Amino acid sequence: MSLVFKTIQTDGIVELSYLLGDDDEGVGAVFDPRADVDVYVDMARETGLAITHIFETHIHADLVSGSRELCARVESAKIYASHEGGAEYGFEHEPVKDGDRFEFGEVTVTARHTPGHTPEHIAYVLAESDHPDEPWAVLTGDSLFVASAGRPDLLGEGRSKELSEKQFYTLRDFYLKLPDHVMIYPNHGAGSPCGADIGARLTSTIGYERKFNRFLKFDDAAKFTEFALGTIPPVPKYYPLMKKINAKGPEVLGNLPRVPALPPKAFKKAIENKTGVLVDTRMMLAFGGGHIPGALNIGGSPILSIWAGWMLDPEEPILLVLESDDDLERIVRLFVRTGCSGISAGANRADECARAE
């Protein structure tokens, strides 16, 4: 038996998801998948695993969950979602509660209710099956980060203090009681708005965080709440919408959206008829050198996902300008991660589109 444990890093939104499995028995699980799920299908195939379980740590606010998409692609899989804290979902799933255990060969995965970032939040503790109560790692979701902790304000001001207090007890009564050697594998890295000043490393240990993480230094819930609510960044505009989509269940796309290419004259007519919002994904210098009047410029780097979430209505079709047709698949992936899957047409060489008669 050889343990399969892989981290999948999604740039831009700085999301971390995980593939765990046993290559002897050929079974595996994915934790917190992103919307473009082929990376998990390919990785499972390469490592000889059949994905049987898709786990969610919580209802995400920063991206479109890929659980339903992955479940539709992999017939052997089921979605497992927390029913703690009164959580409700609009899609088929298996309920998970505190203490539930799952076996993957010689690895035991135990669900632990860790409220604070959200009421339903679940962490998943990893241990050898011979020693299920002696963990070697914990998938912390958005409850504990490297050098930080999950923000408790995403359900609105009316619940921020309540969730801050829950977060304090989660950190004190669960994480700080774990042995120092236990490794933590969080859901986000540095740059994510899901926590304040998340550290640059993608993983850490309980011992290291115990010594250096400011969020673990409090012995009073009121002082912790003051600190936690005083250090958080602004709530991104698209977060409330992502939570609603993920609780209801994102639409299953079946694959990346197909984007029809339009010649310059047809593209110009689509712009004139206002059939969608015009988004130019060339980088700033190219856009500044010449662009179609009225276009929004969101450069095609990984952070496009966050800017698209802030600036676009996911219900409105997108007319897309590319630097090159070769960029299409990569750019579409960045859009769908924050819900912008309605790309109705694409074109390149914006100078020609602008001059078309």
- The whole-number average pLDDT for the span 4-26 is 96
The helix (H) or strand (E) run that includes residue 319 is strand 318-322
Res 314: pLDDT: 92
State the number of CA atoms in the 13 A half-sphere of 225 facing the CB: 15
DSSP states of 143-201: TEETTEEB-S-TT-HHHHHHHHHHHHHHHHHTGGGS-TT-EEEESB-TT-TTBSS--SS
In the predicted structure, residue 348 carries a pLDDT above the cut 90: no
Maximum Cα interatomic distance, the chain, rounded to a whole number of Å: 73
For Cα atoms 197, 81, 183, give the angle at the middle one, nearest 5 degrees. Answer: 45
Res 353: pLDDT: 53
- The whole-number average pLDDT for the span 181-200 is 97
In the predicted structure, residue 253 carries a pLDDT above the cut 80: yes
What is the spatial distance between Cα 216 and Cα 127, in angstroms, rounded to a whole number?
23
Tokens of residue 167, six digits: 């977060």
Res 57: pLDDT: 98
Res 356: pLDDT: 47
CA-wise closest residue to 295 among 306, 310, 280: 280
What is the spatial distance between Cα 18 and Cα 10, in angstroms, rounded to a whole number?
11
Residues counted in the chain: 357
Contact 19, 4 (CB under 8 A): yes
* Beta-strand relationship, 183-186 and 137-141: parallel
- pLDDT one-digit tens code per residue, 38-66: 999 999 999 999 999 999 999 999 999 99
pTM, rounded to two decimals: 0.94
Lowest mean pLDDT among 23-27, 90-94, 226-230: 23-27
Res 1: pLDDT: 57
Res 44: pLDDT: 97
- The whole-number average pLDDT for the span 208-225 is 98
CA-wise closest residue to 166 among 179, 182, 180, 149: 149
- 350: pLDDT confidence band, cut at 50, 70 and 90? low
In sequence order, what are the residues at sequence separation of 6 or more whose Cβ sits closer than 8 angstroms to the Cβ of residue 6?
18, 19, 43, 47
What is the spatial distance between Cα 81 and Cα 122, in angstroms, rounded to a whole number?
9
Res 357: pLDDT: 44
In sequence order, what are the residues at sequence separation of 6 or more whose Cβ sits closer than 8 angstroms to the Cβ of residue 204?
146, 147, 183, 184
What is the spatial distance between Cα 251 and Cα 36, in angstroms, rounded to a whole number?
12
- The whole-number average pLDDT for the span 149-165 is 96
In sequence order, what are the residues at sequence separation of 6 or more whose Cβ sits closer than 8 angstroms to the Cβ of residue 161?
225, 229
More confident residue, 325 or 149: 149
The helix (H) or strand (E) run that includes residue 67 is helix 67-73
- 264: pLDDT confidence band, cut at 50, 70 and 90? confident
Average pLDDT, the chain: 94
CATH number given to 264-355: 3.40.250.10
- pLDDT one-digit tens code per residue, 308-346: 999 999 999 999 999 988 999 999 999 999 999 998 766
What is the spatial distance between Cα 178 and Cα 263, in angstroms, rounded to a whole number?
60
Domain coordinates in residue numbering, the chain = 3-248, 264-355
Give the 3-state secondary structure of residue 258. Answer: coil
Q: Does domain 3-248 have CATH number 3.60.15.10?
A: yes
In the predicted structure, residue 177 carries a pLDDT above the cut 80: yes
- pLDDT one-digit tens code per residue, 58-92: 999 999 999 999 999 998 899 999 999 999 999 99
What is the spatial distance between Cα 317 and Cα 183, in angstroms, rounded to a whole number?
43
